[in-house]
Amino acid sequence: MAAIQITNVEKNYQSLKALGGVSLTIEEGEFFGLLGPNGAGKTTLISIIAGLNRADAGSVSVLGHDVVLDYRAARKNIGVVPQELVFDPFFTVRETLRMQSGYFGLKNNDNWIDEVMHHLDLTNKANTNMRALSGGMKRRVLVAQALVHKPPVIVLDEPTAGVDVELRQTLWKFIARLNKEGHTVVLTTHYLEEAQALCNRVAMLKAGKVVALDNMSALIKRISGSQMKITLAQGHLPASLQALLIPYEGPAVENQYLLRVTDYAEVEPILATLRTAGCVMDGLQLQQADLEDVFLQIMEDGK
């Protein structure tokens, strides 16, 4: 059974098509990345999964429970950390988490609440009123609220936006542990290095449609491969290697070239071509392309 099944989901806001027939299957136990630029439809899709919005067409289910027809079971099985800082200013951190437990019919949940607060470094703020917390601490509480009923499916919508490095480290350590214990995690983030380090599989949205879907290593290898930066002390890049050139994002350096290689086996033939052309090397650097390279290339395609 899929953790989340999304089938031909469409959503329109008057003339704006936010989602144009999105279909995804997220398996149980996955750490899944949902990526895309602002306005791609990520938050709209998450709102539909969470039951905060309703699709105009298509269907979504969480662990087999339709989010509309069987909404109670669907919402019991999912915990969502929203982008916005939404909180009740009249309660302490512990009271907030106890109330959240009550929404799911959980009594005597203090042991788990204590554990969640410990892992999110909230223990010393347990009796602090929510309105007295910093923005980063409020976001920690949002994460704790999403986890308070031990949901098998966890959805994180930009959970580390605008927060410090310490929170990122503590949050990801805890979430990675939950994922290893069997929880499914869905992450949206603009910090692509986080997605690359954490996610097993990634879907990229653009203008409300899925434009890429694959596991992380295959996606990076298929789209970008590796990059070889060479600096020549003598000679110029032979014409036979011109097709491998990658344009520099920043200012170009004289006699420095960036070449695309899809496999390490291509390196020696490139060096042999340079030697045959009488080129003298002054520097060589081989670097693996990353998720940011893939993301930029996919988002540029079709512009």
Domains and CATH numbers, the chain: 2-220 (3.40.50.300), 225-300 (3.30.70)
Average of per-residue pLDDT across 129-153? 91
Q: What is the pLDDT of residue 205?
A: 94
Residues 73 and 76: their CA atoms lie apart, in Å, by 5
Give helix 165-180 / helix 135-147 axis angle, nearest 10°: 10
Angle at 229 between CA 226 and CA 234, to 5 degrees: 145
**pLDDT digits 0-9 by tens, 6-28:** 999 999 998 889 999 999 999 99
pLDDT-based confidence at residue 222 (cuts at 50, 70, 90)? low
**Distance in angstroms (rounded) separating the CA atoms of residues 256 and 238:** 13
pLDDT at residue 290 in the model: 80
Q: At what angle do helices 291-300 and 216-223 cross, to 10 degrees?
A: 60
Rounded-to-integer distance, Cα 132 and Cα 20, Å:
42
pLDDT score at 248: 67
Give the confidence band of 220 by pLDDT, cuts at 50, 70, 90: confident
Q: Is the pLDDT of residue 251 over 70?
A: no
> Residue 186 is encoded by which pair of tokens?
């869905």
Between residues 303 and 111, which one has the greater pLDDT?
A: 111
Contact 113, 97 (CB under 8 A): yes
Q: Judge whether 11 and 59 are in contact, CB under 8 Å.
A: no
pLDDT tens column, 63-120? 999 999 999 999 999 999 988 887 888 899 999 999 999 989 888 899 999 999 998 8
pTM confidence score: 0.80
Residue 22: which of 51, 38, 43, 52 has the closest Cα? 43
- Confidence at residue 79, expressed as pLDDT on a 0 to 100 scale: 94
d(CA 9, CA 216) in angstroms, rounded, equals 24
